[in-house]
Amino acid sequence: MIETHPFGNFVPPNAKYLILGSFTGRQAVKGTAATDDSYDWFYGTTRNQFWPILDEIYGIELSDKRSKQELLANLGIAMADIIYQCERKEGSNLDSNLKIISYNREPIAEILDTYPIEKIFFTSRFVEIEFRKVFKGMIDCHPGIELITLPSPSPRYAKMSKEQKIRRYKDLLPKIRKNREREMVDQESSLAQKLERLFEEVRKPDGSKYTQAEVVAGTQGALTRVYLWKLRKGRVTNPSFQVIQALADFFGVDSNYFSESEEAADAEIASPTGRYLDEIRDKASRLDERGRKAILDLMDYLLSIQKNG
């Protein structure tokens, strides 16, 4: 069965680096017994260590395609594979099992001709050898590009532990721009602190604090207990808007609470129902005089119940 590469090439407009792999895993092929629908981008098998390694290096939760692309764009890293079409001799993802039919020549040439690529990172020795052999003309046309081979992120490459790979990748891959890095650290600290304040100050009707399990259950699948723990400890720097909104809804604050100044956040905490007050004001403004009187009577009734316990 001939397989055609399903992901194309990722090239941010600020590309200065290029990561090259061989070919996607068999789990990316649709309509087979090995198909895994969660494998939607490069290095997407559950066993591949590529994204977990980058997660550790940059301190960013890389849980979906969008977060991975955002990190690469911030770093100026393009991504492609050297093989465009191939067949597998056996049902595995080993490079040695690939019968190459055609290489990804033109797109890679276009990347090198169009963008000021400084370094090419190969994700295995196999990729480096094939590139030097098949793409030699491109190397000759761009002699200033540094060629670097990373330890293979495949768990089959056992000469190095995952921790050793992390250290090696950290030494070789580009760093996040300093101003952006500082911004992300500040955001991380601020987010964790504001979330802890919600746990501390927004209480249940009986006055007790919400538990982590209660928050996870109350956000209806938007985050897991592990992910919430990482948020509270400052291990995650860029939660999705869905996560922010779910937390805001649970604690009864506006989603802007997590990005506001400390003074504005204090006001939001002091009155965690501000979002609902805006809704009440908006809807009440559209009622006639009779409707507004009915709302006021209802509020008086509810206040009397609340006052009397």
Residue 182: its pLDDT value, please? 46
pLDDT attached to residue 185: 43
What pLDDT tens digit does each residue of the chain (309 aa) get? 778 887 889 999 889 999 999 887 765 555 554 555 667 788 877 788 999 999 999 998 898 889 999 999 999 999 999 989 887 776 655 666 677 779 999 999 999 999 999 999 999 999 999 999 999 999 999 999 999 999 999 888 888 999 999 999 999 999 876 544 444 444 445 788 888 889 888 888 888 888 988 999 998 888 898 889 888 877 776 788 888 889 988 988 887 787 765 554 555 555 544 445 556 766 777 788 888 888 888 888 887 876 675
What was the pLDDT predicted at 36?
Answer: 59
Q: Which fold has domain 179-272?
A: 434 Repressor (Amino-terminal Domain) (1.10.260)
pTM, to two decimals? 0.55
Domain 3-175 is of which CATH architecture?
Answer: 3-Layer(aba) Sandwich (3.40)
Domain chopping of the chain, boundaries: 3-175, 179-272
Strand partners, 80: 20
> How does pLDDT run across 41-78, given as a tens digit for each residue?
888 777 889 999 999 999 988 988 899 999 999 999 99
User: What is residue 116's predicted lDDT score, i.e. its pLDDT?
Assistant: 92
What is each CA distance from 119 to 15, 141, 165, 223, 263, in whole angstroms?
Answer: 10, 14, 19, 37, 45
Position 258 scores a pLDDT of: 78
Residue 33: what pLDDT? Answer: 47
Q: How many CB atoms lie within 10 A of CB 30?
A: 7
Tell me the residue length of the chain. 309
Q: What is the pLDDT of residue 52?
A: 94
Q: What is the pLDDT of residue 57?
A: 94
**Fold match between domain 3-175 and domain 179-272:** no
